[in-house]
Chains A and B, each alone.
Chain A
Amino acid sequence: MKLSLMNLALMNLGLMKTITIVLAITWATTAMLPGQQINSDSGVAAKIRDLEYARFDAQHRKDNLALDAMFDNALVWVEPNGAQLTKADYLANLRKTGMNVVEIGPESITVHAHGTTAVVVGIYRERGVKDGQAYVLRARFMDTWVFKNGRWLCIAAAATSSVS
């Protein structure tokens, strides 16, 4: 009887150890998860910067497929003249004949990371031909990106031709 009681106590001790170890792993894993997903703010800034360059490049190439993948379906887009477009409107406009972007690219980009949200402000230059007329544009822009379903998506983008 004494022996079986001792055995029981040892078994319980082993059980307690197991529970303690598993709980420690549980705590450590859950504490790490959000950090693993979004990395550090500097990592986020570098990632978003790359995405912005890729976005301008896709605009230049009229690559709707690439832009479709970068933009959230609920994207709010504001043109430098104040017109608001949905994602579908924007992608359709890009393909319009009579519009030829010869050059477009950022002059400056600053990323402000807030965990799973990043705000980008900068200035871009654009040169092209619209309805037979050559144009040059220098605009200030602001984009908002969110980390959703394992990737960064642009949810809002606005620009203004007033740069003071």
Chain B
Amino acid sequence: MKRSKWLIVLVCLGLCLSSGLATGPVHAQDTVDAESKVGTLERLWGEAAQIRDVKALDSIFDDSLVYVHIDGRLLTKAQVLADTKEADAVDIVVQSSIARAHGNTVIVSGVLQLKGVQRGKPYLRHGRFIDTWVYREGHWLCVASMTTAMQS
């Protein structure tokens, strides 16, 4: 009887440890899947920004989003959405991007081109961006984004 008790204790402790490891600092999904999903969301973001679909952007961004614009402004989610509504038309082309998963976090880095007209003057700018995505409650959400103007 004593032996069987100890056996049960050991089995349960084993289960405890294995489940603890599985729920630790984990991978929400496998790396490739995470990178692919976030890559798709990045494309949706680009399309939504292009057509000023604020509702779509609202679902992509976390409420605590921190955003650094190519001009250096630090914006909240509400400010980014308002900016998108009010800004002049801009043509956004993502020239390159790469996603890298780190468990529940994905970093996307790349180069984008912005083409538009501001105060009657046409402009063309290139920026290097880094976006941070976090997997939370079954969704990937963008929690931070920064674009640095590339000096030629």
List the interface of chain A (C-beta within 8 A of B).
Answer: 11, 14-15, 18-19, 22-23, 25-26, 29-30, 33-34, 37-38, 72, 74, 76, 78-84, 110, 112, 114-117, 119, 121, 140, 142, 144, 146-149, 155-156, 158-164
Give the docked Cα–Cα distance between A37 and B147 (Å): 32
Given the interface contacts A82-B128, A117-B104, does A162 sit within 8 Å of B5 by beta carbon?
Answer: no
Residues of B within 8 A of A110 (CB): 66
| A82 B109 Cβ-Cβ under 8 A | no
Give the docked Cα–Cα distance between A158 and B9 (Å): 50
List the interface of chain B (C-beta within 8 A of A).
Answer: 1, 4-5, 8-9, 12-13, 15-16, 19-20, 23-25, 62, 64, 66, 68, 70-74, 100, 102-105, 107, 109, 126-128, 130, 132, 134, 136, 143-144, 146-151
CB closest residue in chain B, given A38: B25
Residues of A within 8 A of B66 (CB): 110, 112, 119, 121, 142
Residues of A within 8 A of B130 (CB): 76, 78, 142, 144, 156, 158
Give the docked Cα–Cα distance between A147 and B144 (Å): 17
| B12 A146 Cβ-Cβ under 8 A | no
**How many A-B residue contacts, CB cutoff 8 Å?**
148
Given the interface contacts A112-B64, A117-B132, does A22 sit within 8 Å of B12 by beta carbon?
Answer: yes
Most buried by B among A19, A38, A142, A161: A142
Q: Which of A37, A76, A82, A146 contacts B149 (CB 8 A)?
A: A82
| Leading 8 A-B pairs by shortest Cβ distance | A162-B72, A82-B150, A22-B12, A26-B16, A119-B144, A142-B146, A160-B148, A33-B20
How far in angstroms is the closest Cβ of chain A from B43? Answer: 19
Main secondary structure of the interface of A (DSSP, over half): mixed
Residues of B within 8 A of A34 (CB): 23-25
| A22 B105 Cβ-Cβ under 8 A | no
Give the docked Cα–Cα distance between A119 and B136 (Å): 15
Give the docked Cα–Cα distance between A116 and B25 (Å): 7
| A156 B107 Cβ-Cβ under 8 A | yes
Give the docked Cα–Cα distance between A14 and B2 (Å): 11
A-B contacts, 20 listed (Cβ < 8 Å): A15-B8, A23-B12, A25-B16, A29-B16, A79-B148, A82-B149, A83-B128, A83-B150, A116-B103, A121-B144, A142-B144, A144-B107, A144-B132, A146-B103, A146-B105, A148-B102, A155-B105, A156-B107, A160-B146, A163-B72
